[in-house]
Amino acid sequence: MKTRNKNRGRWVALLLCAAFGCAVAVGASAESTITKSDGTILKVKSARWVQGQNGFTIMLADGSSQMIPKAVIESIDMEKPQKLILAESQLRSQQYDAAIMALESVMAEYQRLGWDMIAAERVADVYTRVKKDPRKAVAALEKVLRDVPKADISAGTQLAYWNTLLAQGRGSDAILKKELDESIALGQRDLVAAAYVARGGLNQANGQREAALLDYLRVVILFENVKNIQPEALYRASSVLDEMKDKGGRGDILRRKLLELYPDSPYADEARKKMG
């Protein structure tokens, strides 16, 4: 046990050096489109998921409509919904109830189009962080995740779901830990980064601060290109450093990095509060 803790301490030191500049070497588009698996690109005005037919009814740019099965779709790139833009503005001005209404509308209208999950993440964040009601946060995420294959769930949404489970008091849940470890072992980069952050939260909830910091710093250093996970990793790493009474000011350094690179993130708002 002592050897394990000693090795963990060495890894924390290495990652801290990498994060703070020590000399250590550590190995929506303008228009909406649907790309089919044969390479065909369709310019679309709108798309709506039809559960019973496992596909989308789409309206093309020329005004015609057709049904397109999900099985023949390679990717979907829908323009950012105006309602989501409105909701984000409302969140910044702390109009939380109005924002939830707009976000729930996006969840319904953009089912299986990606924006529904992003809207659900925002709703879950409000219920968890502002309203202190993780039960409703879980319900919002489960609403959009119901019947969705795991491969179609974004890493950001998966992380939001894990976080809401932790907020519900499942910090000692062995099943959750097993799921996180399995996700890390899978090797899918975005999901691995999300699982490390969630496992850090699990460790932090159980008072294992050094282990939590190690997981967060792994993401900060080794998964820098996973942009949708970075803000949370930076913020949570800074918070653990605060809890550990770090005297090097490294928590503030991470918060400044968060504010510089991801100023519109909800975690940037939290960082601003701590920075005064």
**Are both 93 and 39 inside the same structural domain?**
no
**Are both 122 and 184 inside the same structural domain?**
yes
Report the alpha-carbon distance of residue 147 to residue 97 in Å, rounded.
Answer: 27
**Are both 65 and 86 inside the same structural domain?**
no
**Are both 70 and 91 inside the same structural domain?**
no
pLDDT (tens digit per residue) in 72-115: 999 999 999 999 999 999 998 999 999 999 999 999 999 999 99
pLDDT (tens digit per residue) in 21-65: 554 333 334 589 999 999 999 999 999 999 889 999 999 988 899
**Are both 98 and 49 inside the same structural domain?**
no
Q: What CATH number does residue 51 fall under?
A: 2.30.30.100
Give domain status of residue 226, yes or no: yes
Give domain status of residue 23, yes or no: no
Report the alpha-carbon distance of residue 79 to residue 94 in Å, rounded.
Answer: 25
> 271: pLDDT confidence band, cut at 50, 70 and 90?
very high
Q: Which of 19, 51, 78 is the last residue of a domain?
A: 78
**Tokens coding 61:** 């740019």
24 vs 120 pLDDT, higher one: 120
**Are both 116 and 142 inside the same structural domain?**
yes
pLDDT (tens digit per residue) in 129-171: 899 999 999 999 999 998 888 888 889 999 999 999 888 876 5
Q: What is the largest CA-CA distance in the chain?
A: 68
**Are both 193 and 95 inside the same structural domain?**
yes
Report the alpha-carbon distance of residue 75 to residue 223 in Å, rounded.
Answer: 24
DSSP assignment, residue 172?
A: T
**Are both 254 and 199 inside the same structural domain?**
yes
**Are both 224 and 240 inside the same structural domain?**
yes
Q: Is pLDDT at 8 greater than 70 in this prediction?
A: no
Name the residue range of residue 223's domain.
Answer: 80-275
**Are both 244 and 134 inside the same structural domain?**
yes
Report phi then psi at 149, rounded to 5.
Answer: -60, 145
pLDDT (tens digit per residue) in 178-227: 889 988 998 789 999 999 999 999 999 889 999 999 999 999 999 999 99
Report phi then psi at 114, rounded to 5.
Answer: 95, -45
Give domain status of residue 225, yes or no: yes
Q: Which of 44, 78, 112 is the last residue of a domain?
A: 78
Count of domains for the chain: 2
pLDDT of amino acid 1: 40
Report the alpha-carbon distance of residue 180 to residue 184 in Å, rounded.
Answer: 6
DSSP assignment, residue 31?
A: S
Q: What CATH number does residue 266 fall under?
A: 1.25.40.10
Q: Give 82-87's long-range contacts (Cβ < 8 A, gap of 24+).
A: 83/109, 84/115, 84/118, 84/119, 87/119, 87/122
Report the alpha-carbon distance of residue 184 to residue 170 in Å, rounded.
Answer: 19
Q: Which of 142, 122, 145, 125 is nearest to 134 (CA)?
A: 125
**Are both 99 and 221 inside the same structural domain?**
yes
Q: Which of 78, 107, 133 is the last residue of a domain?
A: 78
Distance linking the first and last C-alpha atoms of the chain? 40
**Are both 92 and 156 inside the same structural domain?**
yes
Give domain status of residue 8, yes or no: no
pLDDT of amino acid 27: 34
DSSP assignment, residue 128?
A: I
pLDDT of amino acid 194: 95
For 121, the 3-state DSSP assignment is helix
Report the alpha-carbon distance of residue 120 to residue 130 in Å, rounded.
Answer: 15
Give domain status of residue 20, yes or no: no
